With several copies, the nearest count.
Chain A
């Protein structure tokens, strides 16, 4: 491409990402002789905007709240801050809830928790309990590693697929 145009795909994709994040519709970057301009038409409202947003529901709040590992233990039904840091659900070290129930971090009230932040765990080690239908189900580490995030509080209701613990 000696006398053509150099397509800097990385730069364009980066601009596209900024465009998406910022709700802009056009960005133009020029430097000396080079110039990149990206634009997009704001898509027809995404599904999530189609409907009058219901009041933040407890379960939705729950789904968001666990993502804030450092947050003080808030009542389960309290509305979560809108901008809780999100975790990719496909993260390989993420342990998600296999059932609906209530998560407990220690074997019984008042006893020491199964795990703490930074703890080393072995594969198969119990991380927490989920109570469903009056039975307590042990949630075990899928692999050995370090507990880098605990995403729920003791006694939190959890739904199916909800992120619980990150083991890296």
Chain B
């Protein structure tokens, strides 16, 4: 068996730390877990071969504490660091420091992380590389007059967005010319406040788009392969709740065409490791919105339909191995759905940390659970509310929905409130079952009586 490293430090917590640990263990690689004092009895700490406490509960002093993590890698003799998602996973400076310490960062180069972290630079790059974009300004808007001109050109409604933005902050819609000036001002003020940078740019506002993203792997030998799309349109406040592979609206030919454009672009860019290009899709048109230079929460749905272990591939690539297969070897089989179960009230979405009195995972054919829960575990209040990902796979989309429904019925997380009831409602909903939904669907669904 190939074993690119003998020891890997996992700079994360929760289900994704466990996910990386599992891949490492199956590859015969020893793991080092790092954890805050709040996570001393967490699953990723218990299962890891070694563990190092790196700080107090606040993430800033532990999971975002670069010095502590690098020290932990040094004293344990880890050869590489997997950042998971969130935390330091898209921190170019961290990636640089890891390499400066003679360790391998399991991810892209710092240069590419930085490029894709700047939303304007990312779009510039993708435009040059021939990836379709939302019509809009070619970079930051210098003035209100320029904004007005661009809006005339792409036609209202338009969206003004912070160049350094994310999470919906510094983002304003102008539905007609009369709304433009205020949208311009507010977006800039918010951008300045949130990111310390008031650069904004403009895009045509799509009123009923879907969020469709493409998973890519690139090795250090120039091979780039895509693993098809994920439809992540079911979002609430920009948080994905349910993801599917493939998208109910995409044909194999459309997937192939987009995949060819994207892999060509990343090959030219010299990108390496895992990456995801996010698109808005409306009326058959794709528009690039951003690229995530890391593993995504929803990567399992891709693994289910392609039969690939994306984390294993990330580690192999970081170790300098060639993919060893081409685009023609990637086959898509059946349909997969992921339900993100969070420790939140299923109606108010109020966080619900606390002790899990009983945890029982569903089982059987086509059911995968990625979770760091166990009976007796206390979900700490300091971190993300994601506690379990239920992933199902079946030959058809209808079969996957039926499987998700029965697995949700078997799943027990007692002692805290979770979004399990909401997921059951979604799976039962005829509109969801029809596949005809946009990124606005879930907000309306949630606001309906439970």
User: In their complex, do chains A and B touch, with some C-beta pair under 8 Å?
Assistant: yes
Q: A52-B410, A57-B50, A100-B54 are in contact. List 13 more A-B contacts (CB 8 A).
A: A47-B374, A50-B46, A50-B360, A50-B414, A52-B412, A54-B47, A99-B55, A100-B52, A100-B55, A100-B67, A100-B72, A157-B75, A159-B54
Instruction: Say whether chain A's binding surface is mostly helix, strand, loop, or mixed.
Output: loop
- B68 near A59 with CB under 8 A, answer no
Chain A interface category by residue count: 20 to 34
The answer on a CB contact under 8 Å between A57 and B51 is yes
CB-CB under 8 A for A60 and B374, given A47-B41, A133-B70: no
Of the candidates B48, B52, B68, the one having the most CB atoms from chain A within 10 angstroms of its own CB is B52
The contact string, 1 if C-beta is below 8 Å from chain A, for chain B 23-50, is 0000000001000010001000011111
Contact (A132, B376) CB under 8 Å given A59-B76, A60-B51, A160-B53: no
Residues on B with beta carbons closer than 8 Å to the beta carbon of A54: 46-49
- Tell me how far the C-beta of B15 lies from the nearest C-beta in chain A, rounded to whole angstroms: 16
> From residue 51 to 98 of chain A, which have CB atoms closer than 8 A to chain B?
51-52, 54-55, 57-60
Could you list 24 examples of A-B contacts with CB < 8 Å? Answer: A44-B357, A45-B376, A47-B46, A47-B374, A50-B360, A51-B46, A51-B47, A51-B374, A52-B410, A57-B49, A59-B51, A99-B68, A99-B71, A100-B55, A100-B69, A100-B71, A132-B67, A132-B68, A133-B67, A133-B70, A133-B71, A159-B53, A160-B37, A160-B55
Q: Which residues of A contact B (CB under 8 A)?
A: 44-45, 47-52, 54-55, 57-60, 99-102, 132-133, 157, 159-162
Residues of B within 8 A of A (CB): 32, 37, 41, 46-56, 62, 67-72, 75-76, 357-358, 360, 374-377, 409-412, 414
For B411, the chain A residues whose CB sits under 8 A away are: 52
Q: How near does chain B come to A64, taking the closest CB pair, in angstroms?
A: 13
Q: Give the CA-CA distance A132 to B68 in the complex, in Å.
A: 7
Question: A residues within 8 A CB of B37?
Answer: 160-161
Distance between A153 CB and nearest chain B CB, rounded to angstroms: 14
